Structure 1
Amino acid sequence: METKKKNRPVVALTGTSGYIGSHLLDKLKERFDIIALSRSGDKRENTEHVTWQSCDLFSQIDTEKGLHGADIAVYLVHSIRPSAKLTQARFEDMDVILADNFAQAAKKNGVKQIVYLSGIIPPEEKLSRHLRSRLEVEKILGSYGVPVTTVRAGLIVGPKGSSFPIAEKLVKRLPVMILPSWTRTKTPPIALAVVLTALQKSVGNHDVASKAIDVGGPEVMTYQEMLKHIAHVTGKKFRSFHIPFPTVRLSRLWVKLISGIPKETVYPLIESLSHPMVAQPSHYVEVYSDGKISFEEAARAALEEEQQNKGPKHSKNTKLPSLPSRQDVRSVQRMPLPDFKDADWAAKHYMSWLSESLWPFVRTEVDENHNCKIYLTFMKKSILILSYAKERSTSRCALYYITGGLFANVKETQNGRIEFRQIPGKEEMIVAIHEYLPSLPWIVYKYTQAPIHMLVMFLYRIHLKRLIRNKQPNSRITLEKGSP
């Protein structure tokens, strides 16, 4: 985006097509020029202070282009839902890739501040997957030197949030509410308007650079109390009974069935409810942390907005253009790294391990430029051709493009790729396949090649764990760091 000699700073805003992002966009454009990033951004019309841009944050190149020219970047991204026709991945591992791409792109483009919306993190060592991922993302965003302001919010009360719509549906659809022990844990629910204000005040504010700020409403209440308030606002009678033991795993199932919300969204959220997510004094910042809107007031506003959005005219005007469906695959696995080894070593080691460990079924050929061809031993033609992207690879991230082979449909996409990426601050890496289009018929691929790939990744993880356990750096298929 060109600023055209204006003094207005430029903000790159992710998640702009989402509920929170779209509301924040309206607030920020009053003071900033906005690069509105969305996977379908090119289909949106630009306005005086808003330039829309398509951006796939799973792509390092796309992310770098998206943050070009930005002074500040706002990160409202969470990969809690599948991102391809077939997604073989845990959300926390996909979040690592997104955050790492964003942090590196921010550093490369000279971004002065990252503002990140997270959840309140309780001072406990054993966190749920969802909370552990939120904290991991926060650390990754700050790992390349760009100051990060983290707004950690309690349960956000809005019609299109995550937790509040689940609670609302339970109250409306259940004649009697079963209340397991986790419904008595506490959290400070917070109105969407208060969260937006905290985010807006954080953008460009040097006083909160490199700070984590807990924000919540004026009341700290249990989930049971929230359900009662929602019943009161909606005019429903609240009938309930307690069961005196934690049933988080069972609760995930019945909450999914009753709410109708996908398990990818429900399961991580329910798992987090056993933690008392109360604002911590060490993360208190005056003006930011003290929300003044009561829960009932926020809930009433959210339900009224939901009713307004059900109108056919409103729905027609706000419907976003959809992306064309593709039979693409994203597969992401987290692996341990042996001591003093990096992602580039792991990538080259993997190519050698394939042929040695899967013999006599698989063989590989690797040339002097680290390009790799993978064969089934009874076939003359390769099933996959992996071209090493030297210009995009470092010791911490090795990238290969999928450029051919009998199992790859390279006529429809040139973006299929596999990467080995080290997680900042950890002796772990992510092995990921992105935008892979199989050439096999989809039903055949799904029940043959896809599960075989998962099995191979499982075996490679076991192999790495064995190397670490046995501490045998000179084993016959272990390569020296950086060797082909």
Structure 2
Amino acid sequence: MRVLVAGATGFVGSRLVASLVDHGHDVVALTRDAERYDKPEGVDVVEGDLLDPPLELPSADAAYYLVHSMGAGGDFAARDRRAATSFAEAAEQAGIGRVIYLGGLGDEGDDLSEHLRSRREVEQVLGERAFELTTLRAAVIVGSGSASFELIRQLADRLPVMVTPRWVRTDCQPIYIDDVVAYLVGVLEAPATAGETFEIGGPKVLTYEDMLRTVAAQQGHRLRIVPVPVLSPWLSAHWLRLFTDVPAGVARPLVAGLRNAVTVSERRIDEHVEVELTPFDEAVQRALADGESGGA
């Protein structure tokens, strides 16, 4: 199958491209700068900027949309809306019949943060077009290179005593990056998933406190956590800037979203794609090892 990947150079996209090649698919990577993209063997490259339309895409059987601009600062939601609109128009014109999108978990009636609302808006923009849209919604993705996991890793590493905002007790269902990629490839190869939305998550619901303690233990630290109710999202973002290297443009929307419980409410995906889910402690161990070895 000929498959286009928008967001091929990112944390998820780079791993997805490699997996698609391993599964025998013909892959076309969309990038803004073809000369700087170290493409895997056998992958074709097309150059284009989603924020500078018109965009021309090659024909393909299916496409993945894995683009977001949260780290670029400013109004990321407006940029994401423009990028999704540009991609959707180009995909439609290219005759691409199916698009697969990785969005975010979160109950729409739960006052979603700006970041999670933007993920849902992109889903809506893509869903209004003629192609069939498959959406996978996930929470924190565990892996070396994940901004949300890196935030957790650095906090667990640098703060033996942690006075934290109350979001530390929020429920989350983290999932290992390899499992996310397995689902992304799996739905492509399961025609019945076209036009559907699925929730994906790891084998266990955890709080952010649970995750921080597990990551700290695997880094050889003991962690004392003292939640307090007075740290607003704005103060929380500044607090994170003091103790992590995560850019402010990423930290602020991530922190605002931590108030929202992000857990799987249904497992319909299991009817179509079989994935042996990785336990959180094992996922953390692999992610830390990848980080130490310089893996992407």
Please tell me the TM-score bracket, short chain as reference.
over 0.9
Q: Output the TM-score relative to the length of structure 2.
A: 0.93
Q: Secondary structure at the match of 2:109?
A: coil
Structure 1 residue aligned with 2:78: 93
Residue deviations 1:282-304 (CA, integer Å, cap 9, x gap): x6321558762111100000000
Structure 2 residue aligned with 1:68: 58
Q: Is the 8 A contact 1:158 1:192 kept in 2?
A: yes
Structure 1 residue aligned with 2:181: 196
Q: Secondary structure at the match of 1:60?
A: coil
Structure 1 residue aligned with 2:143: 158
Q: 1:26 aligns with which of 13, 18, 29?
A: 18
Cα shift at 1:50? 1.0
Which structure shows the bigger proportion of residues in helix conformation?
A: 2
Aligned residues, how many?
294
Structure 1 residue aligned with 2:268: 284
Q: Is the 8 A contact 2:138 2:199 kept in 1?
A: yes
CA 1:23–1:31: 2 relative to 1, 3 Å:
same
Residue deviations 1:23-68 (CA, integer Å, cap 9, x gap): 111111132111111112244466663112222111222x32xx21
CA 1:289–1:123: 2 relative to 1, 3 Å:
farther
CA 1:106–1:231: 2 relative to 1, 3 Å:
same
Cα shift at 1:247? 2.8
Long gaps (5+) in structure 2: none
Structure 2 residue aligned with 1:37: 30
Alignment of 1:326-341 (within 5 A): none
Cα shift at 1:126? 2.0
Residue deviations 1:302-330 (CA, integer Å, cap 9, x gap): 000000008xxxxxxx8xxxxxxxxxxxx
Residue deviations 1:391-432 (CA, integer Å, cap 9, x gap): xxxxxxxxxxxxxxxxxxxxxxxxxxxxxxxxxxxxxxxxxx
Structure 1 residue aligned with 2:3: 11
Q: Secondary structure at the match of 1:301?
A: helix
CA 1:58–1:248: 2 relative to 1, 3 Å:
same
Aligned counterparts of 2:248 and 2:37: Cα–Cα separation in 1: 30
Aligned counterparts of 1:175 and 1:232: Cα–Cα separation in 2: 11
Q: 1:126 aligns with which of 111, 117, 120?
A: 111
Long gaps (5+) in structure 1: 1-8, 311-317, 319-484
CA 1:19–1:244: 2 relative to 1, 3 Å:
closer
Cα shift at 1:121? 2.3
Structure with the larger RCO, 1 or 2 (CA within 8 Å, 6+ apart): 2
Q: Is the 8 A contact 1:12 1:72 kept in 2?
A: yes
Larger radius of gyration between Structure 1 and Structure 2:
1
| Letter matched to residue 227 of structure 1 | L
Q: 1:58 aligns with which of 51, 56, 61?
A: 51
Q: Is the 8 A contact 1:16 1:38 kept in 2?
A: yes
Structure 2 residue aligned with 1:215: 200
Matched, 1:231 2:216: yes
Aligned counterparts of 1:190 and 1:212: Cα–Cα separation in 2: 17
Alignment of 1:377-388 (within 5 A): none
CA 1:266–1:16: 2 relative to 1, 3 Å:
same
Q: Is the 8 A contact 1:78 1:95 kept in 2?
A: yes
* Percent of residue pairs bearing the same amino acid type: 33
| Letter matched to residue 30 of structure 2 | L
Give the aligned CA root-mean-square deviation in angstroms: 2.0
Aligned counterparts of 2:126 and 2:189: Cα–Cα separation in 1: 17
Runs of 4 or more consecutive aligned structure 1 residues displaced over 4 Å after TM superposition: 43-48, 287-291
Q: Is the 8 A contact 1:103 1:144 kept in 2?
A: yes
Q: Is the 8 A contact 1:14 1:36 kept in 2?
A: yes
Cα shift at 1:266? 0.5
Q: Is the 8 A contact 1:19 1:160 kept in 2?
A: yes
Residue deviations 1:218-273 (CA, integer Å, cap 9, x gap): 11010001000001111111122221455322111111221121111010010000
Q: Output the TM-score relative to the length of structure 1.
A: 0.58
